[in-house]
Structure 1
Amino acid sequence: MARIHVTTPITPEQARQIRAGDEVIITGEIYTARDAAHKRMVEDLAAGRPLPFNPEGAVIYYVGPTPPKPGQVIGSAGPTTSYRMDKYTPEMLRQGVKLVIGKGYRSDEVKAALVQYGGAYLVATGGAGALLARTIEAAEVVAYEDLGAEAIRRLRVKDFPAICINDAHGGDQYFAGQSQWVKPDAMVKPKPPVASE
């Protein structure tokens, strides 16, 4: 496990250097998008319309930030549950996105797509949205303003911290962590929670 500093956009070589368990410190531009924005992006692609940002080497953060208070760039910006984006993530990776950030488990299809397209899934600390917001230096809506908190925003971040869970080589930090304490035949992947966040 290593501590890796990256600056966006992420090159294919950088993405493949990140391994499950690594701490990844991100500086540069990242894009916010949750399930409503992902659904619309996939619909746009199907209709022949381009994505609202250049996906090559892009980083997508699954977050719907709260409104900023006076003097703030952004409100609380903690990650949302990633499985809600599972049906859209392979297409985003195919378009060139290299890192996606959220919390929780990903589907086998997403893990396979990370390997196929050379990407990585990172997690940010849930419940620490106010602290994560301190790494955000600027924020602006770039698409789907009608979605409110779920609009796509371009964030400029400095030293945004995350941990790699699934890498481009099939590495899975959740599995590795469990395997230290649980017999392989007893390891059960938890089902995604029913309630949305």
Structure 2
Amino acid sequence: MKKIDTPLTQEIVETLHAGDLVLVNGYVYTARDAAHKRLVELIKDDLPLPFDINGQIIYYVGPTPPPPGKVIGSAGPTTSSRMDGYTPLLLSLGLKGMIGKGQRSEEVRNAIKKYKAIYFLATGGAGALLSHHIVLVEEIAFSDLGPESIKKLLLKDFPVVVAMDCYGKDIFK
């Protein structure tokens, strides 16, 4: 099991290979399809993004409200292919990692290799368990989207598997 810290550097990305088990530590950002659409609109309008995307990981999640005494509710991954239309542009701007579930398109697979990024899988259906690895939550943009707003999460030993690495290897192939 490899432990990595965010933000991701090129050196970290290059040490990860499809099939590796990884524990992620540090800050990541949440965004699902509605938030991705808004990020792309900001880019097209030449407006600043709500966070510095360079070296970051986006977790495809819309967490549930936190129960009493917790920082977050269930926080399981959503289907990553819903973000495929937006992903190559974000990778071209310095996004280095994504956490989700399921396969990605050929276009995204090629962009991951071209921009030397990484795609991680989190265990679907285990949102309550995964939430125990999220120690801090801060909403940073698009609050009108409710659970799909962009949040900054602090992860501690968040378990993932490398699904696609920067060398073009893909555990689905």
Q: What is the aligned partner in structure 2 of residue 166 from structure 1?
A: 164
Q: What is the aligned partner in structure 1 of residue 100 from structure 2?
A: 102
Instruction: Give the letter for the 2:155 counterpart.
Output: V
Higher relative CO (CA 8 A, sep ≥ 6), structure 1 or 2?
Answer: 2
TM-score by length of 1: 0.87
Cα deviation digits, residues 88-118 of structure 1 (max 9, x gap):
0111111111110000010000000001101
Q: What is the aligned partner in structure 1 of residue 123 from structure 2?
A: 125
Match of 1:17 among 15, 18, 42: 15
Q: What is the aligned partner in structure 1 of residue 54 from structure 2?
A: 56
Cα drift, residue 50 of structure 1 = 1.4
Does residue 65 of structure 1 match 2:75? Answer: no
Instruction: Give the letter for the 1:48 counterpart.
Output: D
Q: 2:103, 2:80 → 1: CA distance?
A: 7
Does residue 153 of structure 1 match 2:154? Answer: no
Question: CA RMSD of the aligned region, Å?
Answer: 0.6
Q: Which 5+ residue runs of structure 1 have no aligned equivalent?
A: 176-197
Q: 1:17, 1:43 → 2: CA distance?
A: 33
After the TM superposition, which parts of structure 1 deviate over 2 Å for at least 4 consecutive aligned residues? Answer: none
Cα drift, residue 72 of structure 1 = 0.8
Q: Find the structure with the greater CA-based Rg.
A: 1
Does residue 41 of structure 1 match 2:39? Answer: yes
Instruction: Give the letter for the 1:98 counterpart.
Output: K
Cα drift, residue 174 of structure 1 = 1.5
How many pairs were matched up? 173
TM-score by length of 2: 0.98
Match of 1:27 among 25, 28, 51: 25
